[in-house]
Amino acid sequence: MFWVWGCGDKAHGVTLITGLTISNFRSCANVSVELGSPIVAFVGKNGAGKTNLLHAIRLAARLCAGSATWDLLKPQDERLPVKLSLSFDIAGRPFRYDVEREEANSQTTRLQETLSGPESQVPMIRRDGETIRSHWHNGPLQVGIQLSAMSAVMQLSTAASEATQTLTPIRNALHGIRYYRATDNISDHESTASLVLESQYIDWLANKDGKYADSVAFRLISLKNDPDQAKFSELTELLGAAGLGLIDLVMIARIPMPKPPPPPDQPRSTEPPGGYVLGFVPSQGLAGAGTAFSYSGLSIGTRRVIQMLTYLVCDQAAVMLLEQPEDSIHSGLLRSIMDVFKSYSDRCQVVFTTHAHQAIDLMDPNAVRLVRSEHGKTMVEKLTQSQIRSAQDFMLEQGTLSEYLDSL
């Protein structure tokens, strides 16, 4: 008998990735790594394959949830199958998703999936090609490989069924595993000269993973437009004097833009009129204090901080997969940002990549995973208990964690 989520159970904010196994995906020929900490750092040189680990986590989650296509699961060596295995906890309950894809020939693809849960001796769902077996259905289900196994089982179950009640929080938790690139690209709608058009904002609301997926401006507008503005206040408090002391005021104003009537022979435009203007006032003691700047008018480091904290507060991701949070940020400010991540650790796991000493030195040795490349293949290691004790002694008596790691 499988457990069913109770009324008080919540998947959002209590998801923890505990392990990852990869075979034949990108630079990862054979990788197995234990995670499980609220904050985890993949530490290694550029080109070691750190980002590929984040991509593998996100892809496994999306494939299981049915929000990615199988062609993204490509083998590095076409003679061998590609495999991903993601272990994760939801509200303290362990799950594991395994997927394997092999191109048997130019016209045949072999696909296998399993989803295992707590208190079970056999998987909840198992797929072999177009045949799916689940705990909740008598006999096999014949389903095309376009759908993930979990999506297929949910589509073939009623909304009130035990299958749907059990799988929906799992799917929601997997959707909450979000990947964030190390980028400071300024979109057209965030540039100095551009008004943030309401039509673009509506497009983003309809498809937040689309063209404007990275937009900071649209996230800020959505927080401001929320009726109680609780999340907007939360973010501005983090940025302001009570938090990082970086931005005293975030101003968002809606600007009406009346349009002239169209010619008689043309239909009236249905595009929403108007737009938004955003302004940021730096805190006292900083350059430009008391003056409102556009987003693009701020320094790169300030934009990077606003970006990460906006993602944290607005998206409410269960897991943030974050590239190089230290980019363009002063070491003192980076420490404060890490403290913010730690304060959110009861609702959001942060897994990030870094090669910077200032980021490594803020980590607990237990949460560091060493990433290196050998003959073009990514290798990942956790410090042994002996190494962790040595690192802790070194940090107390001699130097920093990064200096210790450099000595290995």
pTM score, whole prediction: 0.91
Only one residue has tokens 């900490």, namely 37
Listed by start position, the domains of the chain span 15-176, 184-260+269-316
Query: Angle at Cα 332 formed by Cα 280 and Cα 239, nearest 5°?
Result: 25
159: exposed, middle or buried (C-beta count within 10 Å: 0-12, 13-18, 19+)? exposed
Mean pLDDT computed over every residue of the chain: 90
DSSP annotation of 312 reads I
Region 292-315: mean pLDDT is 93
Which whole number is the average pLDDT over 181-203?
73
Judge whether residue 58 has pLDDT over 80. Answer: yes
Q: Give the per-residue pLDDT at 272.
A: 60
Residue range 15-176 forms a domain whose CATH class is alpha beta
Stated length of the chain: 408
Contact 20, 31 (CB under 8 A): yes
Q: What are phi and psi of 116, to 5 degrees?
A: -110, 150
Residue with tokens 């997969």: 321
Distance CA 338, CA 322 (A): 12
Q: Residue 9 has what pLDDT?
A: 36
The residue whose two tokens read 């993602």 is 311
Model confidence at 145, pLDDT cuts 50, 70, 90, reads confident
Instruction: Read off the pLDDT of each residue in 242-262 and give the average, rounded to a whole number.
Output: 86
What is the chain's percent helix, strand, coil content, to nearest 5?
30, 30, 40
Give 136-142's long-range contacts (Cβ < 8 A, gap of 24+): 136/161, 136/162, 136/163, 137/163
The one-letter code for the residue type at 149 is A
User: Residue 209 has what pLDDT?
Assistant: 86
CA distance 397 to 191: 49
pLDDT digits (tens, 9 = 90+) for 82-97: 999 999 999 999 999 9
322 Cβ neighbours under 8 A, 6+ residues apart: 180, 308, 350, 351, 352, 353
**List of residues 6+ apart from 147 with CB closer than 8 A:** 66, 155
147's tokens: 């759908």
* Low-confidence winner among 108-112, 278-282, 311-315 (lowest mean pLDDT): 108-112
pLDDT of residue 380: 98
According to the model, what pLDDT value does residue 193 have?
Answer: 52
Residue 4 has a pLDDT of 39
Split at pLDDT 50, 70, 90, the class of 199 is confident
How far is it, in rounded angstroms, from Cα 262 to Cα 243? 50
What pLDDT band is residue 195 in, cutting at 50, 70 and 90?
Answer: confident
pLDDT higher than 60, residue 327: yes
Q: In the predicted model, what is the mean pLDDT of residues 241-251?
A: 96
Question: Of the given ranges (208-217, 243-252, 374-383), which has the lowest mean pLDDT?
Answer: 208-217
